[in-house]
Structure 1
Amino acid sequence: MNGHCDPRFAALGDLLAERLRDGAEAGASVCVIADGRVAVDLRGGSAAPGRPWTRDTLVTTYSLTKTMVALVALALVDRGQLDPDAPVARYWPEFGAAGKDGVLVRHVLGHTSGVCGWDSPVTLEDICDVGRAAALLAAQEPWFPPGEGSGYQAVSHGHLVGEIVRRVTGRSLGMVLRSEFAEPLGADYWLGAPEDVDTRVATLVPPESSGVDYAALDPIAVRTLTNPVIPPSVTTTRPFLAAELGGLNGQGNARSVARLQSVVSHGGAIDGRRFLAESTVERIFAVQADGVDRVLGAPVRFGLGYAVDGRTCWWSGFGGAVVVNDLDRRLTFAYVMNRMAPGLLNAPNTTAYLTALRSCLD
């Protein structure tokens, strides 16, 4: 393990070291940014057989990527280019088809649109053609009444928000994220990564079987989570890395994730530069749904682009990656790894790091 850790957060560093030693982690990185300062930036273990996890190692962050998509959407809201209370069809007219004329932008950002996935069978190759895949979503009916509870847009989220962004700006999600946030903040995070990134991407260690009985799940969950199936083995391939699947295929490390998301925990301004108005950041906490999600099968309180709890907003990725923004403490915590846990929420390692973080803060 290498990097640095303020004594205040020693318990977090000790836990990472322990889990790297005992094999609970293959490779991982954690970062804490508190009141504008990097208090923890640690990484270690193996990025791939024979290749150590270094300061510049990247890894697929799965659904944590959705928090970066939220930054892009919030930037457009901030400039008055996007109204969360407006129909999606105002910006993307084709989306108003098949009974979706009443779907609002905030329904999409809060996972209450009813467009959790695709009606027709799709492959990974199909969804990497983001324009065509978005057109399929625009043509279909919602799977439940929009605005009536949440149905997690596991893969489709990035296609939905991405097409809205493209219609508003003429640019892709990845382009806006890069120019408006990643480059100004010096954050090594990519959505649509160039070829020179490929050798730095860690190989994921697939999780053990979750033991989930799909026959017992809500049919909406099955349709969402199995069409298409995206195995971890594809996450180091060039087509996957080049695609801009805003729901799941950003590439980063804990330092770059925390750097970008600290825009939120610090009220919209970093290093004297304002990225979002404080009032725009506050819109994150407008609750869109609060109850058992149809896809996740667990209670989630969704705000605008994030799950919310008090003055904290967060989201996680398949396998365990997580980012948490605590606005009251002006603190962002990020954790990414390559040894994946089964399930979409509450991975054991993730829970342990968050518990250690809370002990440091208390």
Structure 2
Amino acid sequence: MADVQGTCHERFGPVRRAFERNFDELGDIGAAVSVHLDGETVVDLWGGVADPATDRAWTRDTAALVFSTTKGLTAVCALLLWQRGELDLDAPVAEVWPEFAAAGKGAVTTRHLLSHQAGLPAFDLPITVEECHDADLVAARLAAQAPTWEPGTAHGYHALTYGWLVGEVVRRVSGRRVGRFLAEEVTGPLGLETWLGLPLELEPRVARLQPMRLDDLAAIQLDERTQALTAALLDPDTLTHRVFFNPPVDLNGEAFNSPALHQAEWPAAGGITTARSLARLYGELACDRLLDPATLDAATTPIVDGPDRVLIVRSSFGLGFALPSEVVRYGPAGRGFGHDGAGGSVGFADRRAGIGFGYVMNQMGISLGVDERVDGLVRAVYAGLGEA
């Protein structure tokens, strides 16, 4: 049994029990979960091992790379600029990024970028992980590229390109890289331990990701909801394969253990945070304190909801946030918004309940569909709220 530490309000005792079960029965190695309710941290738990190779314990200060949970952070940056009147979501991206008009993209808007409608989910030509550390190079590549479909007519998950596309718009409008903007405008003022571009001296705090277990791989193959996606991932001739394997990274996380990647800005998949900070961020959103109610109303209204050309299954997106669908569940009532990441990490808010939720881990789990570890924790949170 893992040594679970931290604090948990009495009414959220089911969350502690669900968290302990994740270690005892569901294979968690090291993890943390946190819940922010009406401006107060009511759950802040951690346990297990941050790095099995060295037996380094998961402590209060341990942070983890959260893959696509990062997209919610990048979305907040763009939404802040929109809220301030500095960014027009419906104007052509080329108005702030002239090179982007190339190859028939003159009418693409930032709204298209945020809702995965731009038709640029994959790189046309091979690109290396090292090249992806150079945001200027990546932006130039994407600016020169033709869309895969007519922008605005369909949507497909921009797993990696989303971050560099939205991040470049943030840079062009604000004059700051998205990681710096996030630090100066969001995480710094809130006192969050969340980074997009990790300072080298903080590397010892980062948990080491562990490969997916064989039984999880088998479960993915058997899940009817994601069988088509699994088949597409394994077929090198599909758009889905090109999206997830160019640059050549695996879905087990090993490439994302690189300190060089941690220091670089991958605004769709490279964020590093504690669960506590993730819950606090979404807790602020839940209580309309970071973004105005009107901004959040617009950001959490579905812009696209239907067949996803990359994920194959139905997906639903607002302005940068993922919304509940057959493979995304943010609370039993299906009213939350946020973003989950490969392997199991997730951050989301429920404005009606006033909660922000954050879960981070190092054991890569089922990246497709609802992760049983997260599902149990979320159900326990709502049990504490009296909404089981």
If the TM-score is normalised by the length of the shorter chain, which range does it land in?
A: over 0.9
For the pair 1:316 / 2:340, whether they are aligned, the reply is yes
Following the alignment from structure 2 to structure 1, what is the Cα–Cα distance between the partners of residues 98 and 301? 26
**Preserved contact between residue 39 and residue 284 of structure 2 (Cα < 8 Å):** no
TM-superposed CA distance for 1:17, in Å, is 1.2
Note the C-alpha offset of 1:40.
0.4
Contact 1:112-1:288 at 8 Å conserved across structures: no
Contact 2:211 2:363 in 1 (8 A): yes
SS in structure 2 at match of 1:193: coil
Q: Give the deviation of 1:276 after TM superposition.
A: 2.5
SS of 2:61 mapped into structure 1: coil
1:253 pairs with one of 274, 294, 303 = 274
Contact 2:89 / 2:110 at 8 angstroms: preserved in 1? yes
What is the CA distance between 1:217 and its match in structure 2? 8.8
Q: CA deviation at 1:257?
A: 0.8
Matches within 5 A, 1:192-341: 192-208=197-213, 209=217, 210-211=220-221, 212-213=230-231, 214=233, 219-231=238-250, 232-267=253-288, 269=289, 275-309=290-324, 311-341=335-365
Deviation at 1:218, TM superposition (A): 8.2
RMSD value, Cα: 1.6
User: More deviation in 230-239 or 10-19?
Assistant: 230-239
Find out whether 1:110 has 2:115 as its counterpart.
Answer: yes
Are positions 1:14 and 2:35 aligned together?
A: no
Q: Distance in 1 between matches of 2:237 and 2:374?
A: 26
Equivalent in 335, 348, 352 of residue 376 of structure 2: 352
What's 2:91 paired with? Answer: 86
Aligned pairs for 1:19-34 (under 5 A) are 19-22=22-25, 24-34=27-37
Aligned to 2:56: 51
Query: Are 1:97 and 2:97 an aligned pair?
Result: no
3-state DSSP of counterpart to 2:342: coil
- Deviations along 1:220-246, one digit per CA (max 9) or x if unpaired, are 211111111324223332211110100
Matches within 5 A, 1:32-43: 32-43=35-46
CA distance in 1, matches of 2:243, 2:338: 22
Hey, what's the Cα distance between the residues in 2 that align with 1:197 and 1:344? 30
Give 2:309's aligned amino acid: R
* Mean CA deviation greater in 107-116 or 309-318: 309-318
> How many pairs were matched up?
356
SS of 1:103 mapped into structure 2: coil
Unpaired runs of at least 5, structure 1: 270-274
**Superposed displacement of residue 106, structure 1:** 0.6
1:173-188 → structure 2 map (5 Å cutoff): 173-188=178-193
Identity of aligned residues (%): 39
Tell me how far 1:44 sits from its aligned partner: 0.4
Structure 2 Cα separation of the partners of residues 94 and 7 of structure 1: 56
In structure 2, distance between residues paired with 1:192 and 1:321:
18
| Alpha-carbon distance between aligned partners in 1 of 2:341 and 2:25, rounded to the nearest angstrom | 23
